[in-house]
Amino acid sequence: MRALSSARLGADFTRLWTASAVSNIGDGITMAAGPLLVASLTDDPALVAGAAFAQQLPWLLFALISGAYADRLDRRKLIVAVNLLRALVLGALAVSVATGTTGIPAVYLAFFLLGTGETLADTATAAMVPAIVAPERLAAANARLMATFTVANQFLAKPLGAGLFAVAAALPFGVDAVSFAVAAALVATVRPVPARPRDGAGGLRTEIAAGLRWLWRHRLMRTLALSMGLANIVFCAAFAVFVLYARHRLRLDEVGYGLLLTTFGVGGLTGTALAVRLRARFGATALLRAGLLIEAGTHAALAATTVPLVAAAVLVVFGIHTMVWGVVATTLRQQAVPARLMGRVSGAGALIDVGGAALGSLLGGLLARTTTITAPYWLAAAVMTAIAAAAWRPLAEARTS
């Protein structure tokens, strides 16, 4: 059945999907091994956390620029080049770890370069999908990509990364380097996409402004971007202290906390399996509106409960929602945005998402420190209720998209 579905999506998508699966495994391995590497070099919590920030920072700095280059350049060649460069960075990191010559600055630099490559490759990949998949199959393609991310990155790769690090500290980074080289080879076999018309004369700033202007003038896309940007602020504010919530509110130990985290993955995988059928049955508008209500209800339920099983059930539902929303919103964007602007609009959306996440992470710690551990969750529930009310009417336009 899976082979038949892949065939319907086309050979080029199958190659792109396989490359995504391979690189997602490698990414997950590094996400697990990276903190272990930094922790082996320092006991300073700020320095350990700084490694994650080093990989996130490029999204704040370069999301708009990367979107513009994803529209300027051949997206297939861009993905291949970036994956090869990421393979070189990881190969160099693996060698430095194996020879005992690495240090915190070198790790930060490697993660910053990987994050920079991610802004280019991820934006170009998202913009490339509509060019190789028929419009009526976009939802299925997006669901397939998100399911692969959930299984490969969240379930398989992270325990594998920790295990490889236990065998040899350099090994996970070497494996990730190979994964990017394989992904580059697979993407290179995708047929070239016809050139896109350029906007005309103008520099990089003019091109970025054109993408931002299009996004702001499109009511539905603007509503989706702002809704998720604001939602990310309150979500990350609440979940920045999730480990403390699990320990003090739910009375869970480390094992219980780890099991609770898996509920996101369980819900996410279920959501990707259901997204296409739910979209066909209920329509985009109903799913988007329901998603905002689920977000509000999730935060309120977590703030109110002290029962781990209740929290786990809530998080499974939340995981389903995130994937269904992701498939629906991504498909709507791919159908609405002109091909020549796809990279820039995707980059602008990513900037809003990541900016909201970064601001929320800072806000959550401060709020929990000065009030209570549940205060960020109650705040998130209130804000999401307001967002749902404000976005309710504009989301009606999803019916005609």
pLDDT of residue 354: 83
pTM of the model: 0.80
CA distance linking residue 39 with residue 49, whole number of Å: 10
List domains and CATH numbers for the chain. Answer: 11-193 (1.20.1250.20), 205-395 (1.20.1250.20)
pLDDT of residue 96: 96
pLDDT of residue 366: 77
The CA radius of gyration of the chain, in Å to the nearest whole number, is 21
The pLDDT tens digits of the residues spanning 188-244 come to 999 887 656 666 556 888 999 999 999 999 999 999 999 999 999 998 888 877 878
Amino acid present at 333: R
pLDDT of residue 3: 45
pLDDT of residue 262: 80
pLDDT of residue 237: 84
**Which stretches of the chain drop beneath a pLDDT of 50?**
1-6
